[in-house]
Structure 1
Amino acid sequence: MGRTWLERLNYVLVLLLCLAPAAWLVWRTVQGDLGANPIETLIRQLGVWGLRLLIAGLCITPLARIFKKPRFIRFRRPVGLFAFGYILTHLSTYIGIDQYFDWHAIWKDIVKRPYITIGMLGFTLLLPLALTSFNAAIRKIGPKTWRRIHSLIYLIVPLGVTHYYLLVKADHRPPLIYGAIVALLLGWRVAAKWWPVAARAPRPSVQP
């Protein structure tokens, strides 16, 4: 069944919301409003927005089931791909702008700094999710294998929260808040097997 005009509008609004942080960061960069260490601010903000979108993606399935709106699932793919885009840009900025492609220094960081080790692990696990987030990949590997691969998100997001927590030197409240939200979402996933509201809701399909 084709999308209604309202569904198309909602889809466009989701895309615009996902693009808004990037536009805001570009504006701040042009205005020279990234503080005393603009590269560090840019790297951190890109990573934080990537994590926020990953968490937002985790929220979609519970909302779809609780409100019995399986079409909400169609938003999961664009949100997830935008999250990957922010995280990829976060990593690329660190490698290319902060470290000037000094692979020796980058490897030393990976080995010696736990938050970078965890961040790199999370990104490595995220790659297969991004590469299989298209209909052609789903058809090729099959829905069952697709679901197994994408279940890695329940490991990736906690790794992202841990990466953020270890990175922060002073105010740990934001990563702790994100961690609490992720714990609730993971708890919901476990409880959904017995929770009547979730059990009665239509099961969304793999494809949006």
Structure 2
Amino acid sequence: MKLAKLLNGSTIFWIKVFIHGLCIGWASLVFNQAAYDQLGGDPVEALLHFTGISAFNLLLLCLCISPLAKLLRASPLMKFRRLLGLYAFAFASAHLLTYILFELQLEWYLLGSEIVKRPYITVGFLAWTILLLLALTSPKAAQRRLGRNWQKLHNWVYPAGGLVALHYIWSVKSDILQPTLYIGLLLILLFFRKDKFISATYWFNTKRS
């Protein structure tokens, strides 16, 4: 209850300002380092890792919000979930654009063949597509239009998290310790929301039939 009281309108506003500043400032710093060739011997790989791991971190933080709000009885924490989710999508989009710009050299037609030929790109692109759909339907207006289907649709954040984890571990060539730790954390978060995960899978199957 004490935390809920601390999270008043002013506190929430300044925490959101901090989140904006951290995400935008951090991204600006790293891309500025890339522009001045200060990211080591393989700046493209460094950018891909930075944008990808940032997206995963923000997605995990987003998934932490609801369990924490229930555990701490602090419902105002839910006010940060949408913002973190949108920044997760923003970094995931930066990850995809970095790949298209530097790896594919803006040869957009190659993207389709890469998605088909490389399983880790396939699952990564599927995850990005889900995040895109969730970002587009995140406004309050979309929530009102979709009604009950809005929550069913946004339960797809859980399969998206699984696809991101799979993309991460498949893209690593040698050291899998860090991806394994991330997957372990994701599994813990999914365990707390296993009912939502099952609901998302059921909704998808009913739509197909």
- TM bin (shorter chain): 0.7 to 0.9
Secondary structure, counterpart of 2:193 in structure 1: helix
Q: Which amino acid aligns with 1:152?
A: W
What's 1:60 paired with? 65
Matches within 5 A, 1:103-182: 103-142=108-147, 144-182=148-186
What is the number of residues matched between the two proteins?
189
Runs of at least 5 residues in structure 1 that lack an aligned partner in the other structure: 193-208
Report the Cα distance in structure 1 between the residues aligned to 2:18 and 2:82, rounded to whole angstroms. 14
Considering Cα pairs closer than 8 Å and 6+ residues apart, tell me whether 1 or 2 has the greater RCO.
Answer: 1
Are 1:87 and 2:87 an aligned pair?
Answer: no
Runs of at least 5 residues in structure 2 that lack an aligned partner in the other structure: 1-7, 197-209
Using the TM superposition, give the Cα deviation of residue 62 of structure 1 relative to its aligned residue in structure 2, in angstroms.
0.6
Q: Which amino acid aligns with 1:147?
A: Q
Q: Identity rate of aligned residues, in percent?
A: 35
Tell me the TM-score normalized by structure 2.
0.84
Using the TM superposition, give the Cα deviation of residue 137 of structure 1 relative to its aligned residue in structure 2, in angstroms.
1.0
Using the TM superposition, give the Cα deviation of residue 20 of structure 1 relative to its aligned residue in structure 2, in angstroms.
4.1
Over the residues paired in the alignment, what is the CA RMSD in angstroms? Answer: 1.8
Secondary structure, counterpart of 1:133 in structure 2: coil
Report the Cα distance in structure 1 between the residues aligned to 2:156 and 2:137, rounded to whole angstroms. 12
Report the Cα distance in structure 2 between the residues aligned to 1:132 and 1:152, rounded to whole angstroms. 12
Using the TM superposition, give the Cα deviation of residue 93 of structure 1 relative to its aligned residue in structure 2, in angstroms.
1.6
Q: Give the number of the structure whose residues are more often helix, by fraction.
A: 2
Report the Cα distance in structure 1 between the residues aligned to 2:112 and 2:15, rounded to whole angstroms. 43
* Alignment check: 8 A CA contact 1:18 1:79 kept: no
Using the TM superposition, give the Cα deviation of residue 153 of structure 1 relative to its aligned residue in structure 2, in angstroms.
0.6
Using the TM superposition, give the Cα deviation of residue 92 of structure 1 relative to its aligned residue in structure 2, in angstroms.
1.2
Tell me the TM-score normalized by structure 1.
0.84
Secondary structure, counterpart of 2:73 in structure 1: coil
